[in-house]
A = this chain, B = another copy of it.
Amino acid sequence: MPPGLKDVAARAGVSIKTASNVVNGYVHVAPETRARVQAAIDALGYVPNPAARRLRGGGSGVIALAVPELRSPYFAELAGHVVETAAPRGWTVLIEQTGGRGNRERDLVAGLRRHAIDGIVLCPVGLATGELTRRHGIPAVLLGDWTRGVPGPPRRPEDQVPVAAQARHGPVDHVGIDSAAAAAEATRHLLRLGRRRIAAIGASGRPDAMPRPQRLAGYRAALAGAGLVPDPLLAVAVRGQGRSHGAAAIEELLARGADFDAVFCFTDLLALGAMRALYEHGVDVPGDVAVIGFSNIEEGRYSTPTLSTIDPDTKRIAEIAVDMLAERLTGNAAAIAPREIRVEHRLLARESTLGRPQL
């Protein structure tokens, strides 16, 4: 029902191919002809059919963004930036929620949606490091802590890459901040304020997945740098990444009778839950316990107290990710060697560590 090139061509009195040439900006079209075709296009409200283009062998103009959960503010903000960056470049974004399941993440990069999308931006959390570098189906850009060289957990049988995917190889890019360094910075910030009993919230409760091992490593490195030995009593694993899990972690610490004067949470969301739990127990932040998070979601700028955190410059990460993907999709994907981009991060010290500034 919607008009196709056929209709445009008929109206302009040219061949279908000429109409196509006008649409695609082919050079050798007489100005007069071009104008006539353009007029037909405008009059009919012609829009190219991406399905046909895609079928013909071209791209669909759609890229996927795979995040664990849209409900998580960090990923929502990231998604917003990705969509906004992609739009002016002519890309549409399709959102996938992985739920942090490694299988799902692997399937997506292996090309589960290969027919619908040209490429994918993935925030892996369930996958072991190194699993994605070699065999996969479609151009992909990885976001986040995921780092070369950190050993992953042992492989399970279901982790095997399906045969069809193994046949195809391709490059994988990576964008992210130096999470270990950032985590160390956050921890040192607490140390600098005189805190010595620093709890860490956010290590994974599951032994088979290892989300954010860099953050744990950075925390330990900073403690070591201050001559402190990490106290196992102060490290709390979580079963999820929501506010409630941060709150539960505080309950756990208190139930353990742990003595702590600061908490480093691996995400802002955990920190916000933790702060709430501390408040409910009458623990003053930062008077009794300083709290610092990680990711700088907007919520932390308006919480009471405002949340100190690491700002990973999410907008820039999104821009770089989209640009890198676009580069692979327009150029020769295989010709570009896998890239590893480090984005600068900042420490944002706010009320949850510094206290309320004097008015």
Q: Which of the residues B43, B79, B298, B304 comes within 8 Å of A70, measured between beta carbons?
A: B79
Is A355 part of the binding interface, using a Cβ–Cβ cutoff of 8 Å?
Answer: no
Is A181 part of the binding interface, using a Cβ–Cβ cutoff of 8 Å?
Answer: no
Is A301 part of the binding interface, using a Cβ–Cβ cutoff of 8 Å?
Answer: yes
Is A89 part of the binding interface, using a Cβ–Cβ cutoff of 8 Å?
Answer: no
Q: Which of the residues B49, B301, B304 comes within 8 Å of A303, measured between beta carbons?
A: B304
Give Cα A3–Cα B93 distance, bound, in whole angstroms: 25
B92–A116 CB distance below 8 A:
yes
Is A296 part of the binding interface, using a Cβ–Cβ cutoff of 8 Å?
Answer: no
A80–B97 CB distance below 8 A:
yes
Q: Which residues of B contact A301 (CB under 8 A)?
A: 243
State the oligomeric state as a number of copies. 2
User: A69's closest neighbor in chain B, by CB?
Assistant: B80
Give Cα A95–Cα B164 distance, bound, in whole angstroms: 29
Q: Which residues of B contact A55 (CB under 8 A)?
A: 49, 51-52, 55
User: A306's closest neighbor in chain B, by CB?
Assistant: B276
Is A50 part of the binding interface, using a Cβ–Cβ cutoff of 8 Å?
Answer: yes
Is A165 part of the binding interface, using a Cβ–Cβ cutoff of 8 Å?
Answer: yes
**Also in contact, A45 and B302, with CB within 8 A (given A76-B73, A93-B95):** no
**Which residues of A109-164 have CB atoms within 8 Å of chain B's CB atoms?**
111-116, 162-164
Q: Which residues of B contact A302 (CB under 8 A)?
A: 243, 247, 272-273, 275-276
* Number of interface residues, chain A, beta carbon within 8 A: 58
Is A267 part of the binding interface, using a Cβ–Cβ cutoff of 8 Å?
Answer: no
Is A54 part of the binding interface, using a Cβ–Cβ cutoff of 8 Å?
Answer: yes
Give Cα A111–Cα B2 distance, bound, in whole angstroms: 10
**Which residues of A316-354 have CB atoms within 8 Å of chain B's CB atoms?**
none
Q: Which of the residues B49, B69, B79, B279 comes within 8 Å of A304, measured between beta carbons?
A: B279
Instruction: Kindly supply a per-residue 1/0 record for chain A positions 53-97, scoring 1 wherever the CB is within 8 Å of any chain B CB and 0 otherwise.
Output: 011000010100000011101001101100110010000111111
Known: A51-B115, A69-B80. 15 other contacts (CB 8 A): A45-B163, A47-B112, A50-B51, A50-B116, A51-B54, A51-B60, A62-B94, A70-B70, A71-B298, A79-B95, A95-B95, A243-B301, A273-B302, A276-B303, A276-B304
Closest CB pairs A-B (n = 8): A45-B164, A76-B76, A70-B80, A51-B54, A71-B80, A276-B302, A304-B304, A51-B51
A-B contact pairs, 19 of them (CB 8 A): A1-B168, A2-B111, A2-B164, A43-B163, A45-B163, A45-B165, A49-B55, A50-B116, A51-B55, A52-B55, A70-B70, A70-B83, A71-B298, A73-B76, A92-B116, A94-B95, A242-B298, A273-B302, A299-B299
Give chain A's interface residues, CB within 8 Å of chain B: 1-3, 43-45, 47-52, 54-55, 60, 62, 69-71, 73, 76-77, 79-80, 83-84, 87, 92-97, 111-116, 162-165, 168, 242-243, 247, 272-273, 275-276, 279, 298-299, 301-304
